[in-house]
Amino acid sequence: MSPPAARRVPVERTHHGDTVVDEYVWLTQKDDPEVRAYLEAENAWTEQRTAHLAKTREAVFEEIRGRTQETDLSVPTRKGGYWYYTRTVEGRQYGIQCRRPAAPGETAPPVTGDGAPPAGEEVLLDGNELAEGKDFFALGTFDVSPDGTRLAFSTDFAGDERFTLRVKDLTTGEVLADEIPEVFYGSAWSADGSTLFYVTVDDAWRPHRVWRHTVSGGTKDELVFEEPDERFWVGVELTRSQKFLLIEAQSKVTTEVRAIPADDPTAPATVVAPRRQGVEYSVEHHGHRFLILHNDGAEDFALAYTSADAPGDWVPLIPHEPGTRLESVDAFARHLVVSQRRDGLTGLRVITDGSTDSYEIDFPEPLYSVGLDSNPEYDTAVIRLHYTSLVTPDSVYDYDLTTRAMTLRKRKPVLGDFDPEAYEQHREWATAPDGTRVPISLVARRGTPKDAPLLLYGYGSYEHSLDPWFSIARLSLLDRGVVFAVAHVRGGGELGRRWYDQGKMLAKRNTFTDFVACARHLTAAGWTSADKLVARGGSAGGLLMGAVANLAPDAFAGIVAEVPFVDALNSILDPTLPLTVTEWEEWGNPLESPEVYAYMKSYTPYENVAPVAYPAILAVTSLNDTRVLYHEPARWIARLRATAPGGDYLLKTEMGAGHGGPSGRYDSWKEEAFVVAWILDRVGRA
């Protein structure tokens, strides 16, 4: 069997006087039987090329499964008179959403060590029952009304992130006749639970309308807000205080928020602050005021407040401090908690109401990630934290804001002989071509020799930070002597807003050259060698993978590109595609700007495939992905095969999933085992 050879049908495109030829436009026709047949042929070729890894795949899958406590229970979260939690059961793909009544005076969450159902449990939704007979299942909204009597939930059975919204009466267990198709993520209840707000999308998959639905009212849903500017997405939420419904319209660089009293859901919405181009802000309700986290004259954001009754001028609360990026603020009855980052690490700052004094919560490890977990209760002095590192499994703490006592509620079990002391984490710094120092986080099993196989992971877009995280699947690499590293390249948010700004628009190439600099540094420092180094990234990180394959093919032994955005230029040129117009403030608008067009063409992977020796490449995608369309990697692999023959280029398409890949946990583990086995093969450890 030979690798599939995609039919070449040249199509010319001209922009700003530049004409390019695309031979594989026909692969964009998702419903064409020939396209489906081609993707199936690619899957068959990939399976044949990796058949020798079947035992390794099975071993890795069993390691992931063997280290995972399959029957488990999350730490319950208090909301009103109930504790809410999720259970998983051995052998079942999906979680079970549950609650049980809180006993009088019960302040600490009950946690059972064996995952057994607690006494008095009420099953709200069983994902396994909902997914019965379906190839794919995802839960979008899961939203209990303030009085605990109704549940709004939405389901997706295709992976295209178009959900159907339903309402369940929790007093009777009946799913009501209310059914709303084609909705987006998110919902919000009115204070009395009679009215449900939800969001729908336009033809370009942009959430642009907020609707008001009267439960079992028999009336037509009412349009509350519509955003005509195609750069903006909209969302809706109920504040933690349950006093206001907030409608947020946000582009990549500009925000506008409207507020509706939650006890008067038909009232007109009040604009908290009119939109100003380039000014981003978020709103949190706290007593008589709205807290405003904003970047107006504050690159790394500042905190202010305004009147909740009559929003107007912003009164400073926390001034701008360059180098300390304020990311969010959470309001509780007597405290504020600010999530921030400094020197590449996340942190939490606590302010007592009525005081300008604050303190930061300390954590012991040199590399870690911390943030607020689920905290639906407003009137509380105890908050829930999530903590993890490259060596510490996900941990849930309760933190007393008054006494500053921290109580571990649960650490994710890792079964078998796992010992966190058997692993060590490190921080290195690479130097980019422009002299910028780029941080790298590493983890390895203690005793791993120098010049070891290494997997380098990266993303670098949308100010998304790759903060340290723990992975059970990663242990299968570490225990085989593979070092895992994360390149914190520009375009992410690890070092503040400037770090992001220096990796977007006409500075986007910094993302790619930073990653190459990290790879070169790790080789020069003796951590690994080019013939033992594999790169991995997904989505916008897949764009990164394609770009570095063109920039430095000699630096890598293999590249894994998952749902990769490798045809960025052609996608951003087409405003009819999902997400395109909203992306112009991230990448630039090549339709209008010859400069942006030329710049994007200089780096987009699909346009820059060259007749050179490339490392082995594994591209993984999903047919129903609405964020990065399947044909981007399909056409990329086809062009690689035609332009740079002799390379080992594989395409694996999940034929019944979306951007996140397979939906069930066992299917996800099998997918990860497939990728891990391929990586191990590339570095000689399969």
The answer to whether residue 659 is catalytic is: yes
What gap in Å lies between CA 374 and CA 243, rounded to an integer?
19
Q: For residue 365, which of 343, 391, 344 has the smallest C-alpha distance? A: 391
22, 178, 467, 625: the catalytic one is 625
Q: What angle do CA 196, 202, 207 make, to 5 degrees?
A: 50
What gap in Å lies between CA 569 and CA 591, rounded to an integer?
10
User: What does the buried/exposed string (b/e) look like for 647-663 if buried means 16 or more CB atoms within 10 Å of the residue's CB?
Assistant: bebbbbbbebbbbbbbb
- Cβ count within 10 A of residue 188: 26
Distances from the Cα of 632 to the Cαs of 12, 59, 78, 271, 587, in angstroms? 17, 32, 44, 40, 17
Is residue 285 classed as helix, strand or coil in its secondary structure? strand
Is residue 39 classed as helix, strand or coil in its secondary structure? helix
Q: For residue 548, which of 478, 604, 483 has the smallest C-alpha distance? A: 604
What gap in Å lies between CA 71 and CA 64, rounded to an integer?
14
Residue 649 near residue 42, CB atoms below 8 Å: no
**Which residues make beta-bridge pairs with 281?**
294
| HEC-encoded secondary structure of 318-339 | ECCCCCEEEEEEEECCCEEEEE
**Which residues make beta-bridge pairs with 290?**
285, 306
Residue 16 Rama label (left phi>0; alpha psi -120 to 50; beta): left
72, 389, 659, 663: the catalytic one is 659
Residues 6+ apart with CB under 8 A from 658: 136, 138, 156, 158, 159, 160, 161, 622, 624, 625, 626, 627
- Cβ count within 10 A of residue 382: 18
539, 571, 622, 663: the catalytic one is 539
Distances from the Cα of 208 to the Cαs of 94, 236, 344, 478, 573, in angstroms? 30, 11, 34, 45, 21
State how far Cα 165 lies from the chain centre.
Answer: 22
Residue 83 near residue 76, CB atoms below 8 Å: yes
- Cβ count within 10 A of residue 2: 6
**If you search the block for the tokens 């921080």, which residue do you land on?**
427
| Separate counts of helices (H) and strands (E) for the chain | 12, 38
Helices 509-524 and 594-603: crossing angle, nearest 10°? 30
Distances from the Cα of 118 to the Cαs of 76, 84, 121, in angstroms? 11, 11, 6
Q: For residue 71, which of 110, 114, 39, 35 has the smallest C-alpha distance? A: 114
What gap in Å lies between CA 38 and CA 31, rounded to an integer?
12
Residue 489 near residue 515, CB atoms below 8 Å: yes
Catalytic residues: 539, 625, 659
